Structure 1
Amino acid sequence: MDFELPETAQAVRDGVAAIGARYDHAYWTRCDAEGRFPQEVWDDLAEGGWLGLNIPEEYGGGGQGLLELAVANEALCASGGTAGTFFYVTTPGFGATTIVRHGTPAQKELVLPGLAAGRTQFCLALTEPDAGSNTLEITTSARRDGDDFLIRGQKVWISNVERADWMIAVTRTIPAEEARPRTAGFTLFLVDVKEALAAGTLSYTPIPKMGSNILHSSQVFFDDVRVPADRVIGQVDGGFAVLWDVLNPERILAAAGGTGSADAALDVAVGYAREREVFGRPIGANQAIQFPLAQIKAKTELARLMTYKAAWLFDQGRDCGNEASIAKLTGSQVAWEAADQAFQTLGGMAYSKEYPVERLFRDARIAKNIPVSEQLVLAHIGTAQLGLPKSY
């Protein structure tokens, strides 16, 4: 067994970390407070080729895999840009991974060069108000209209739609109550967001949020959005397999963001614990401070290992569902625990916006709920890996 990161991944880690070092916590906090997209960081990542890592070289990408993408996301979050995980989940994750693996030659030519250059952004429209995590019950429909399809329905918590050029829209072409098996009747579409917005058939409303405010999350409304039939991703009625191939990378990238976020929070806490003196010595000398931080370090390294394993399995074309679930669970948990312990380490000062802990705290909490809730991950581990009866 070789636990050494490939040279490609090491180069990615160092390159993205160098960009992250140009932008301090104060920069990310300002962007969060202003609800402003960190365009400068995006442009630097694009210029360095760090956004097109998993795109084949013939389309201008790096020709690498999900492991390198996960390492890039981890490094960006570790630099302090914890909400920057959405950079890698929404565009290289949802967009590039899906089109590279399931797009037609024409679809690849249409979107991959722009993705590789950082000119193009993506979003995924899956979650619905009445379905939530029960994807099988979505009701957004697509119906034939000549050579096109018309999409009608509503989605919620769709991140980056305000900046997206393209959307992967998950629809039902067979209603859930008629589908046999229940996973039949899903169809995924490549939707031109700006065209649909201009036509007035697509609209969205941002949702005010607690954290991760560098990207909006929105309710999205489809009012007969017209999509040509050649924009179907995969097969009509056979999109569930494509969707599952999207969700595993999403969980792995979320796990990478969690480990990077834990690194960021731990770095702030350790720095404060070294410098802050009470009763004549640094507070980090006290085991009540030191031991919890050491626990966080141990848990972060464990989450990192599982994240890398899951990404490696995906790149090898092997089943990674179990590993992706464990990586997502442990990565999100340690991100939250690290932010919470950083808060405790800084004491009352953590409550002040003078320090980045309150932002790290807000950004970390949502990871326990998205892209899949902690309870559903545990249910999957219990049924798929322990063989226990299914509860859902």
Structure 2
Amino acid sequence: MDRASVPQEYGGGGQGMLELAVACETLAASGGTAGIFLYILTPGFGAMTLARHGTAEQEAILPGVATGDVQFCLALTEPDAGSDALEITTAARRDGSDFLLHGQKVWISGIENADWMIAVTRTTPAAEAQPRTSGFTLFLVDVTEALAAGTLTYTPIPKLGGNVVTSSQVWLDDVRVPASRVLGEVDRGFEVLWDVLNPERILAAAGGVGSAEALLRVACDYARERRVFGRPIGANQAVQFPLAQIEAETELARLMTCKAAWLFDQGLPCGTETNVAKLTGAQVAWEAADRAFQVFGGMAYSKEFPVERLFRDARIGKNIPVAEELVLAHIGTQVLGLPRSY
């Protein structure tokens, strides 16, 4: 899976976002949304970003990604800058031919297995940046090197669900990074960041679609087998119709995800489509989880069945990688032309 999005000249499959989305949907359908974060981290954040924006020196990392020996994570979110990424304060300052990175990140997934971290920093403080999207710089941080130097530390966060991947608080205490590891250009990192965030939203949407498939499968199996009042509960329209509705919504979310992925692969504007895909994928996953819980009744609470785990894993999709309220605000302002509220 890691090699899918690596260009063929580096030993990879040379696949695009559409193929990666289909693969993530299939993986999620086999066990739920949580697992796909393993594949967002390296193929999505790492391979695609390096293939699109890396220098020849940076692209030398890609053969290791293709063999599965190299793993990535992304460090963007901060305690006071979640959905509003423009407010990040992690700073990078020049020190000779290097940069020193200092700040705190939170909800950073997969750092315990990562060889490289894409760190999003401010090289110009937000108060001085004009426009506000300027002043960002992305760096490739050698995680092993920084841990050994004691300038990078992290602490795992106990979570309700999504425990296939650990999420951590991360502290950067003057992590030294050579200027050769800048992704894109200094102060113009937001252009690169969008090529990180759009894939994340597309693959999260694909995970939601796959999770809905998994939940529908277990709910329908149970509805066929469980008999009450002399017949399978799935024969009752009160059980059957909501499941049929979710099936229809899953198909629509899948189509939106494929459209967003195709536009991304063509290099066309896809911001609205990726947001709509993420919104609908997350919503149908949660609706499927809620309905499956109802179909199983009290047995949904039992760890004998996968519903309780899928239920816990599905809920976070409405909040990450972007809160659905911000997606709706984007649609309201950018598509419908309504005034901004933020």
TM-score normalised by length of structure 1:
0.87
Q: 2:301 corresponds to which residue? A: 351
1:112 maps to a residue whose letter is L
Q: 1:255 corresponds to which residue? A: 205
CA spacing shift, 1:81–1:117, aligned 2, 3 Å: farther
Q: Does 2:109 correspond to 1:159? A: yes
In structure 2, how many angstroms separate the alpha carbons of the residues matched to 1:120 and 1:338?
35
2:141 maps to a residue whose letter is V
In structure 1, how many angstroms separate the alpha carbons of the residues matched to 2:2 and 2:92?
31
Which of 13, 38, 43 is the matching residue for 1:62?
A: 13
Which of 332, 341, 344 is the matching residue for 2:291?
A: 341
Q: Does 2:265 correspond to 1:315? A: yes
Q: Which runs of 4+ in 1 moved over 2 A?
A: none
Which of 63, 66, 75 is the matching residue for 2:26?
A: 75
5 Å-filtered alignment, 1:269-348, equals 269-348=219-298
Q: Does 2:2 correspond to 1:51? A: yes
Following TM superposition, by how much is the alpha carbon of 1:143 offset from its aligned partner in structure 2, in angstroms? Answer: 0.4
Q: Does 2:320 correspond to 1:370? A: yes
Kindly indicate whether the alpha-carbon contact (under 8 Å) linking 2:32 and 2:207 is maintained by their aligned counterparts in 1: no
5 Å-filtered alignment, 1:192-271, equals 192-271=142-221
In structure 2, how many angstroms separate the alpha carbons of the residues matched to 1:62 and 1:295?
36
5 Å-filtered alignment, 1:136-175, equals 136-175=86-125
In structure 1, how many angstroms separate the alpha carbons of the residues matched to 2:31 and 2:187?
42
In structure 2, how many angstroms separate the alpha carbons of the residues matched to 1:132 and 1:79?
30
1:302 maps to a residue whose letter is L
Following TM superposition, by how much is the alpha carbon of 1:221 offset from its aligned partner in structure 2, in angstroms? Answer: 0.2
1:72 maps to a residue whose letter is A
Which of 317, 333, 337 is the matching residue for 1:383?
A: 333
Q: 2:47 corresponds to which residue? A: 96
Q: 1:27 corresponds to which residue? A: none
Following TM superposition, by how much is the alpha carbon of 1:82 offset from its aligned partner in structure 2, in angstroms? Answer: 2.8
CA RMSD of aligned residues (A): 0.7
The C-alpha deviation readout for 1:57-76, integer Å capped at 9, x for no partner, is 01011111000000000000
Q: Secondary structure at the match of 1:139?
A: coil
Q: 1:6 corresponds to which residue? A: none
Following TM superposition, by how much is the alpha carbon of 1:274 offset from its aligned partner in structure 2, in angstroms? Answer: 0.4
In structure 2, how many angstroms separate the alpha carbons of the residues matched to 1:253 and 1:68?
10
In structure 1, how many angstroms separate the alpha carbons of the residues matched to 2:238 and 2:2?
41
Following TM superposition, by how much is the alpha carbon of 1:304 offset from its aligned partner in structure 2, in angstroms? Answer: 0.1
The C-alpha deviation readout for 1:33-79, integer Å capped at 9, x for no partner, is xxxxxxxxxxxxxxxxx221111101011111000000000000001
Q: Secondary structure at the match of 1:359?
A: helix
After TM superposition, the structure 1 stretch with the greater mean CA deviation from structure 2, 82-91 or 205-214, is 82-91
In structure 2, how many angstroms separate the alpha carbons of the residues matched to 1:253 and 1:357?
22
Following TM superposition, by how much is the alpha carbon of 1:149 offset from its aligned partner in structure 2, in angstroms? Answer: 0.3
Q: 1:124 corresponds to which residue? A: 74
In structure 2, how many angstroms separate the alpha carbons of the residues matched to 1:81 and 1:377?
23
Following TM superposition, by how much is the alpha carbon of 1:115 offset from its aligned partner in structure 2, in angstroms? Answer: 0.9
The C-alpha deviation readout for 1:268-318, integer Å capped at 9, x for no partner, is 000000000000000000000000000110000000000000000000110
Q: 2:84 corresponds to which residue? A: 134
1:161 maps to a residue whose letter is I
Tell me, which stretches of 5 or more residues in structure 2 are unaligned? Answer: none
Which of 41, 51, 56 is the matching residue for 1:105?
A: 56
Q: Secondary structure at the match of 1:177?
A: helix
Q: 2:140 corresponds to which residue? A: 190
In structure 2, how many angstroms separate the alpha carbons of the residues matched to 1:97 and 1:388?
34
Q: 1:34 corresponds to which residue? A: none
2:11 maps to a residue whose letter is G
Following TM superposition, by how much is the alpha carbon of 1:81 offset from its aligned partner in structure 2, in angstroms? Answer: 4.2
1:113 maps to a residue whose letter is P
Count matched residues.
Answer: 342
In structure 2, how many angstroms separate the alpha carbons of the residues matched to 1:64 and 1:254?
18
2:67 maps to a residue whose letter is A
Following TM superposition, by how much is the alpha carbon of 1:131 offset from its aligned partner in structure 2, in angstroms? Answer: 1.4
Kindly indicate whether the alpha-carbon contact (under 8 Å) linking 2:137 and 2:188 is maintained by their aligned counterparts in 1: yes
